[in-house]
A and B are shown apart, each in its own frame.
Chain A
Amino acid sequence: MKKNVFLFFLAVFAVLTGCQNNESGFPSSDNPTVVVSTKEIYGAPSRKFEIKAALADDLGLQSVRIQIPELALDKVIAFATDPLLTKYDLSYFFEVPANKGTSEAFKIKLTITDVSGNAIDEEINLRLDGEFAAPSITMITPKEGAVILLSTSNKMPVNFVVNDDSGIDYIQIQCAALGIDEKVQLTDAPQSYSFSKIYTLPVTADNYVLTITAKDKFAIPNTGTLNVNVVATNEYPAIYLCDQPKGTNLTTDAVGVPMYFHDKNGQDFEFKYYTDKDNKEIYFLGQESDFAPHCFGLNPLGELVDDVASTPIILPTKGYYVIKVNPNTLKYTATKYTPSSKVWADVANGLWHDEEAKRKPFVSVCGAGIQGADWDTWTAWAQTGLHLANNPNNPYQLVGEYTLTGTMEATFTGQWWSPSWRLIKNGIATMSPGENGNGKYPAAPGVYKVVLDTELERVFITKK
């Protein structure tokens, strides 16, 4: 009996021993090692952070598991075993969900396993109160695209304000062409700093890029940079017609404000312009995005002057004008005229039709960055919300309302590009056959008012 019992247990032992299987198939080895680059990581909602660590094993790494249960992260990175990997630099990015609060903190658990089955854990603290915004730089002068008329002055006043929540470490102004490289190291890390200095330009006309850098004092420093293009010239490259009151932010439109000139001969600029009411007030600007430094209006004597303090020019009655201006001679004329271009009437009753004779023109839009639009003219027809309507007060204007989603490109079109107006650079809507190349216009997402002036061949898309 005892013998049988012994044999039974011997058999069980043999079976169990036989069943034991070293699943890894690798010899035993030392534990893997991990060296994290930091034990504390700063993150923020809707922002990616990086987990960095150096992993190693004397025989070979099998996997690393990264866990943050509260943030629904459970990632396993498995390593190839042929050949075995003994070192691995972990660099894993993860975006904190938007619904987390900046006061929250979590543990990141790393589990490193080697091919022998050894595993070690490592924890890293994750804080969501990180500050990752670069210092904001607000230019006062010169604005982007500013024109400095050398015949008037060769001084370039540079004024800007820097703000940062965690305090500013330093600011730096650079322009290699002008030999400027000025660094201002700030003490006590102020949250706001204003810079003001006048630089002298050489007398030769040129384009310059002013680079302003600001770095904050956060544990993981953030650096903000702004490039400002400045044109130093003896002549104005362009003049703009602005029908907005002084002080208006001229960068909120997608396109058309202020309006680019129509024709240029030397410094004689010619505009065609429609005023939608009597006594319309306008200025001429030497730059596109601001009223300064060159704003042409009237002095108390009614003469044209380049002065930010000047008063507006008045166009007495509603209608189309040809306006000529010379910023050097400071002369201008405004002459009313009656347009003779084709009127695109009744576009609201347009009809898509295969047979041209039965087609009725409609005007919609193809493009990008416009909600509902793509580059298919059928879509332009089918998306009735994109159709433009006649302006009851001006037969040469087609109006509508679009939702822009970002940088915009547009060609206003009927069926199969007939008729069509391609929006090229400077707000010019060239009617087919016109110029090639759609212009790209950055725009903040939102609802915009759209005016296509077929007489002016210009588009005005302004925030509603």
Chain B
Amino acid sequence: MKYRFIWLFIVLLCSVATFGQITVKGTVKDKGNVPIPGVNVAVKGTATTGATDFDGNFTISVPSNNAQIEFSFIGFANKTVAVGDKTVLNITLEESSQVLDEIVVVGYAAVKKSDVTSSISSIKGKELQTMTVGNVAESLQGKVAGVQVTGQGGPGAQPRVLIRGISTVNLSTDPLYVIDGIPMGTSINFLSNNEIESMEVLKDASASAIYGSRASNGVILITTKKGKAGKTRFNFDMSSGMQIMNNPYNMANAQSYATIINKAYNNSGYADYLPNPSQYNGKTTDWWKAGIKSGAPVTNASLGVSGGSDTHTYSISLNYYNSESIYEVGGWERITMRINNDFKFSDKFSAGITLNPRYETWGAPNNWADFDKIDPITPIYKPADQLTGLENEYSIYARSPSYVWNPVAAVKRYDDFTDQYNLNTNGYLQYQPIKGLVIRTQASIEVGDKTQSIFKPDFVIDAAHEKAEINSVERTNTTNVDWTWQNTATYTRSFAGKHNASLMIGNTMEEYNGNDLWGYGEGVPNNSEEMREVNAATKNRNSKGNSWSNSLMSYISRFSYNYDNKYYFTGTFRRDGSSKFMTNNKWANFPSASVSWRILNEGFMEPAKEVLSDLRFRAGWGKVGNQGLPAAVYQSNIGQGFYPIGGIIADTSFPSSMANKDIKWETVEDISFGLDFGFWKNKLSGSLEYYQKKTNDMLFKKQFPTYSGFPDYSTIWTNVGSMQSSGIDLLVSYKDKKGDFSYGVDVTFTTVNVEMLSLSSEGERLYGAGNRTLTVKGEQPGYFYGYVADGLFQNQTQLNAHTDEHGTKLQPYAQVGDIRFKDVNGDGKIDDKDRTKIGSPWADYNVGLNLTFAYKQFDLVANFYSSIGNDIVNENIKDLYNGASLTNKVSGLEQMAWHGEGTSNYVPRLSKDDNNENFTKFSSFYVEDGSFVRMKNLQFGFSFYNKFGLDKLRISLSGQNLWTWTKYTGVDPEVAGGDEKKDDRVKGSGFGGWNYPVQPTILMGLNVAF
């Protein structure tokens, strides 16, 4: 009885609550009379919202006849309808042809896409979120013309992003990332793709010059998701799956290995190294299986809530990413949160604050190559008769005669992990004292703490060469505090009906501070987990610490003007003062100017408007800089080293680098021309752009001449040389809908030509990658430089003919089956002078193909990316095809390698001694066509609308990197730059070794909105 009373009370309350409300029903369709599911239906001025179901039907309650209902859906123009006395509304939404009204972020401002005069590509967060990646930049691959992304496998790996090629040889080539207006450096590993609302790529200098001294590699502006007025909405997005790690090579088994090695020995005149190979039949050690997981789980999840009112909007997201390593230990885990609040205190005064706490932890072995390289005869563990019982747990592993350290043991010993905590706080205040004038101040502070802990246990696998007699422990703690403060005032006004102008002026200040502390010790009493602390070390305690700081102060301005929405002009000016440079060059100016002509708005184009929906011509010019050199190159430094003086080893000091007080930024000046077009209400749209950029005052680390008295390794940074890159970006996009079926095709096409215009002196030759690349005037930087391998000597006649004009053999140690090196200069000798250009790491062009299909509740996304015309040095040949070492070889090598006339013209005969230097001479033998086409993503989804009490439920199945076509025989054709520590970032590009492959991944996805 009591319950019945309560029940009646609730019903009564509900009745009261709904008293006076009007229920409006209806259907939303497109022009083709096809229902549109998922349309957002909102009662204007209230928090009441809803959405259409699969048949386009909706039901919503409005407070009165005066209410207005707003219908919105991506790809369609918003429509607001007054309810009046209607209770049924049948709505037809117009497809939005006015993409030009989309808002684009341009750096310290946001403008309508139609007003953009420079080269900016925009991509929505939703397009990026179709892939599950650790670094969002990887999702950009193939989606933006002019942007080349080279993927890097492995948890936490950062892809290489090049915007319109390269403009430097020695400094960083990574673009500057700006998140919600705050420059965040050259990596966005910390950012989840679920946090992103949109990304804008500023490709030319007229767009990026507003970022001045850090913009020469382009700028990527990222806008994170913000709350929208309306009811509280929840989103849960999750994808989870497996990254597949297949062995890229079919390695020889024990018997086959013995046969191959014996063959190499016999061919060099030695007896069998492993007599009677058949004795090893069935005794293969499967190293790969013992240490490499076939699949590593990956998960990307995000829980978000957003909503708000006219005066306050909020958005909170919790994001989780986890990618396990392919080993039994290690991986990368990231948990981030983004809490955003925007307040509108009055028509004139608004503010906002975003908090972004983050936690990351990573660390994984990187010795997967050793699982292939170690010989297959050595067992994983020492045989019982070699164990004394006194060994520790890390000393029970067997030693390989191949000199490859036991990889299973190495993984077992691995203990090198880093934890990082960051908190970014970004807030703004905005004041609009009069119409058209906006004064804004924005500040951000980023606090970070990173701790790397390493423990190396003691072990003795082989007393001679595979051991650590004493364990060691070390910990490095790095703290950074960076802050940014920027102030702008923007005045926008239209006058005389046709003149529209906007002027922004402002200033920014940035400071980056850091310090680190390193502690080290040896002789921890035992290797237990609990003892892995520096305090437990009993010997050789050591410590180091340092601090650093650099800052940048800038003045910025932008003036935009258009006449009658036909003729546009934008000019920007930035003046940067950097702590990295001394008084003479502390300040530099970075101007830009760009114009645009909206041809379609001309009167004479009226007849064409039936077909054309957009036609614009753009031209831009600008100057940007690269200050990405170490912070204190204006200082002279003293190095330390041990040298024998009078027979005694002395601890000495020497001048290691000298100050250059005149050092200044690399300056890139570029011009760009573009044509934007759209046909048939932008069903077909695109843009074609040409650019040319020239880098001056390039920064090189130069050695002193010998007569100066400085040691060879004493260097000085100097501004010398120039280079130029040019190319074409093309984007063509087609979207259409036929009944329930809609589809879209995007094609991006990118070409880059890079050429060195001058170096520090005429005829200078800059070598890289261990003298295997050359950079000279008039050529691409870092092209592969070596001998030309002209096939193999197939018979004695060919061998005998390889002489100079007097019969002297060009390769005196060659035998049939060895590589014939070409006497390029025809001087009758094979020597250094015969090295020549044998390939280029730079692609002729990159093509992206992005397909979207939808039919009723089904949707399909497919992304393809290709790189055409680049070469790759396959360094693994040296291990896998070379009989001179005892490392394992590819299965069947004895048949692949030359073993008689006509059996191979590529893999030379097996040889223990390699007297002909088939493998030690760097030649075109190593250079392979690196072109590839890769299916980056294939995703199949099915959506429910207004089912199960949810606005939307989507489940998806996707595969990433499932298919790759390439002639490259190495691990993975996505090969990026060289070792930065050796200044080989650019000069060492295109060397494919045992790089961690971009792994095929299978994922299940779930997206829920309610």
Contact = CB atoms under 8 A, between A and B. Distances in A.
Interface stretch (B224-232, B476-484, B548-556, B805-813): B805-813
Interface in A254-307: none
Interface in A55-90: 71-77
B801 A74 contact: yes
6 contacts: A75-B807, A77-B805, A91-B806, A351-B463, A353-B464, A358-B469
B464 to A, nearest CB: 5
Interface stretch (B136-144, B162-170, B745-753, B792-800): B792-800
B469 A75 contact: no
A188 interface: no
Contacts of B464: 352-353, 381-382
Contacts of B795: 72
A354 interface: yes
Contacts of B797: 72-74
Contacts of A381: 464
B826 to A, nearest CB: 8
Contacts of A91: 806
A92 interface: yes
| Chain A contact surface mostly | strand
A355 interface: yes
B803 interface: yes
A72 B800 contact: yes
A354 B805 CA distance: 54
A92 B807 contact: yes
A180 to B, nearest CB: 39
A416 interface: no
Contacts of B801: 73-76
B914 to A, nearest CB: 16
Interface string A343-373: 0000000011111001000000000000000
A11 B464 CA distance: 84
A355 B522 CA distance: 15
A93 interface: yes
A94 interface: yes
Residue with the highest number of chain A CB atoms closer than 10 Å, among B463, B464, B796, B808? B464
A73 B800 CA distance: 6
Contacts of B469: 354-355, 358
B463 A353 contact: yes
Interface of A: 48, 71-77, 91-94, 351-355, 358, 381-382
Contacts of A77: 805
Interface in B763-813: 795-797, 799-801, 803, 805-808
Nearest to B803: A75
Contacts, number: 38
B647 to A, nearest CB: 9
Most chain B beta carbons < 10 A, residue from A48, A74, A75: A75
B463 A75 contact: no
Nearest to A353: B463
Interface residues of B, number: 14
A354 B460 CA distance: 12
B920 to A, nearest CB: 16
Given A94-B800, A358-B469, 20 more contacts: A71-B800, A72-B796, A72-B797, A72-B800, A73-B800, A73-B801, A74-B801, A77-B805, A91-B806, A92-B805, A92-B806, A92-B807, A93-B807, A93-B808, A94-B807, A352-B463, A353-B463, A353-B464, A354-B469, A355-B469
A37 B801 CA distance: 22
B806 A75 contact: no
Contacts of B806: 91-93
Q: How would you classify the secondary structure of chain B's contact residues: helix, strand, loop or mixed? A: loop
The residue in B799, B800, B801, B807 that gathers the most chain A C-beta atoms within 10 A of its C-beta is B807
A75 B800 contact: yes
A92 B808 CA distance: 8
* Residue of B463, B795, B799 ringed by the most chain A CB atoms within 10 A: B463
A371 to B, nearest CB: 11
Nearest to A77: B805
- Please provide the 5 A-B residue pairs with the shortest distance between their CB atoms, ordered closest to farther: A93-B807, A72-B796, A72-B797, A92-B807, A75-B801
B699 to A, nearest CB: 40
A74 B800 contact: yes
Interface centre among B469, B799, B800, by most chain A C-beta atoms within 10 angstroms, is B800
A377 to B, nearest CB: 12
A94 B807 CA distance: 6
A257 B807 CA distance: 43
A365 B469 CA distance: 27
Contacts of A353: 463-464
Nearest to A74: B797
B364 to A, nearest CB: 28
A382 B796 CA distance: 37
Nearest to B809: A95
A358 B800 CA distance: 55
A154 to B, nearest CB: 50
Nearest to B801: A75
A353 B808 CA distance: 48
Interface in B801-834: 801, 803, 805-808
A355 B458 CA distance: 14
A77 B801 CA distance: 9
Contacts of B800: 71-75, 94
Contacts of A352: 463-464
Which of A73, A94, A358 gathers the greatest number of chain B CB atoms within 10 Å? A73
A12 B256 CA distance: 62
Contacts of A94: 800, 807
Nearest to B647: A433
A353 B467 CA distance: 10
Nearest to A88: B805
A435 to B, nearest CB: 15
Nearest to A65: B801
A74 B803 CA distance: 11
Nearest to B403: A382
A132 B1004 CA distance: 83
A93 B805 CA distance: 9
B471 to A, nearest CB: 14
Interface string B915-929: 000000000000000
A77 B464 CA distance: 54
A260 B601 CA distance: 107
Contacts of B807: 48, 75, 92-94
A113 to B, nearest CB: 15
A355 B469 CA distance: 9
A417 to B, nearest CB: 14
Nearest to B468: A354
Interface in B276-323: none
Contacts of A351: 463
Contacts of A74: 797, 800-801
Nearest to A79: B805
A77 B803 CA distance: 9
Contacts of A355: 469
A235 to B, nearest CB: 37
Nearest to B797: A72
A88 B396 CA distance: 72
A253 B261 CA distance: 36
A92 B797 CA distance: 16
Contacts of A48: 807
A361 to B, nearest CB: 15
A355 B463 CA distance: 11
A57 B100 CA distance: 76
Contacts of A92: 805-807
A222 B803 CA distance: 27
Contacts of B796: 72
A393 B808 CA distance: 54
A38 B639 CA distance: 69
B469 to A, nearest CB: 6
B648 to A, nearest CB: 13
A92 B799 CA distance: 15
Nearest to B795: A72
A325 B330 CA distance: 78
A76 B797 CA distance: 12
Contacts of A76: 801
